[in-house]
Amino acid sequence: MDEIRKKAASKAQRVGFGAQQSRCRGTMGRMTDDTNDGKVVLPEHVRVRFCPSPTGTPHVGMVRTALFNWAEARHTHGTFVFRIEDTDAARDTQESFDQILEALKWLGIDWDEGVDVGGPNGPYLQSERGDIYADVAQKLLKAGYAYESYSTSEEIEARNIANGRPKAFGYDGYDRTLTDEQRQAFRDEGRKPALRIRMPEEDIAFNDLIRGRIEFKAGSVPDYVIVRPNGDPLYTLTNPVDDAMMNINVVLRGEDLLSSTPRQIVLYQYLIKLGIAKEMPLFGHMPYVMGQGKKKLSKRDPESNLFLHREHGFIREGLLNYLALLGWSIGAEQDVFSMDEMIKHFDVRDVKANPAHFDIDKAIAINAEHIRMLEPQDFLNRSVPYLHRDDVVSADSWDALTTREQRILHAAAPLVQTRVRLLGEVSGMVGSLLSNAGYIEPEADARKQLKASAGEVLAKAIEVLESASSDDWKTDTLHELLTKALVNEGGYKPRLAFGPIRVAVSGRRVSPPLFESMEIIGKDVTLARLRGLQNHL
């Protein structure tokens, strides 16, 4: 094994691996000059990318990666490239591809080059770049940076056991020194080779934009496969080649890809030698997003599903604001901010390396703040699809609603907008206002709060309200009438006086303000609901 490594090191020197390290940002040893504040210097024109695989429903980890890359590009007036890594035919789906585009467009994350936009470095689908990968692989092989590997996984395991190593120790470099005759013998057996990159026998270090200096000791990363025996290129080849040819100079990605970075650094060094890459990119690895139980948030966890959050009623401003907090902050005392504010202040070098915890309660609270900041008509426009989904209104767009529905929702908006946290909660708040029903069955928690005095309270309220004229059916007048009759004269505490009326009017324990609701639904419906609850006690 040592002899193999010595020969490999000698070969690396012959192909000139270390000759240009000093001019390449992000290679062995010191990779950048630092500014006075200790931060790695960014390129003059930042080019970042987002390159998901279409293998499932978009999840919050994916979106955060897109968000941080987008924010860095917008903050630095750089370029944001969006491409799709769709070379896994067994797992990639058109549905997932469409969902990724839908997610980015819903969130307002736009891109400068890439899918559906075009640009000078296309195509932007990996499935359309096969000839490019094949050409690069052959150049790597011809230059000696890659070599043919005929070992099967069973043979590698057997050699590890025979040499006293764990069975799963990994590839042992066996094929590095095969002679032409040995390779021909394998071909004669009908074997087809994989292509492996020849890793150098030296430490690999780089300055991570988020984590600082990271080192991988010589020999800790084995020679790795870039092309399968059937000719299919692997991520280990396609990703760096695409980055190189698209002139990506800042790579921001998840912590789970950190272990692949030394491989990419080495391949980049070879690509520079071949004239395929211009320079080594800077790397920044964002922290894990943790779910419940301090475990890494899986794409299968419900709180990870982007569209499930949208279904519940998150608005894009609220969700993006919260995702931005998963590793970054605009300031110690400011959790709520707009995307314009994020762009103004974002610097990937300020992202924290510690794992970020996804707290759904905090996410909902931040979403509520953003809902309150919407213009009233914008709030209504966004709420209507949820109201239609829940069979509360007749159409899924504001302009298609009836005049009555628009009138009631206009009146209800200032009562509801400050009380909901998610747009999915609007239906429960306004459903009773839009309904003409004379009786609304109380929800379980609402009925539970009714006390023995509820019948007496409802009877007295009906008596007082029957005498009120339609012209006097206003919020302030109703408040005065019922307060005088039930609290001042009747001696009921406000909770006992108004609780049964609220349950009768809305069917809920929590509802829009009571007297405003009574004004909106009118005298006839209000009295009918009071009598309805009275008859169902």
Above 50 in pLDDT, residue 53? yes
Kindly state the average pLDDT of the residues 385-389.
Answer: 98
Poorest-pLDDT segment among 22-36, 173-187, 332-346, 368-382: 22-36
Above 50 in pLDDT, residue 2? no
At the topology level, CATH places domain 302-371 in Glutamyl-tRNA Synthetase; domain 2 (1.10.1160)
Locate CATH 1.10.8 in the chain: 374-424
Q: How many CB atoms lie within 10 A of CB 399?
A: 8
Kindly state the average pLDDT of the residues 382-398.
Answer: 98
Locate CATH 3.40.50.620 in the chain: 15-149+208-216+230-289
Is 299 one of the annotated binding-site residues?
A: yes
**Whether the Cβ atoms of residue 430 and residue 404 lie closer than 8 Å to each other:** no
Percent of the chain at pLDDT exceeding 70: 93
At the topology level, CATH places domain 15-149+208-216+230-289 in Rossmann fold (3.40.50)
Within 8 A by CB and 6+ apart from 397, the residues are: 381, 384, 385
Buried b (16+ CB within 10 A) or exposed e, 246-284: bbbbbbbbbbeebebbbbbbbbbbbbbbeebbebbbbbb
Above 50 in pLDDT, residue 7? no
Kindly state the average pLDDT of the residues 150-162.
Answer: 93
Poorest-pLDDT segment among 290-299, 320-329, 498-507: 290-299
Q: What CATH architecture is 444-535?
A: Orthogonal Bundle (1.10)
CA 505 to chain centre: 40
Locate CATH 1.10.10.350 in the chain: 444-535
Q: How far apart are CA 310 and CA 317, in angstroms?
A: 11
Q: Identify the CATH class of 374-424.
A: mainly alpha
Report the amino acid identity of residue 101.
Answer: L
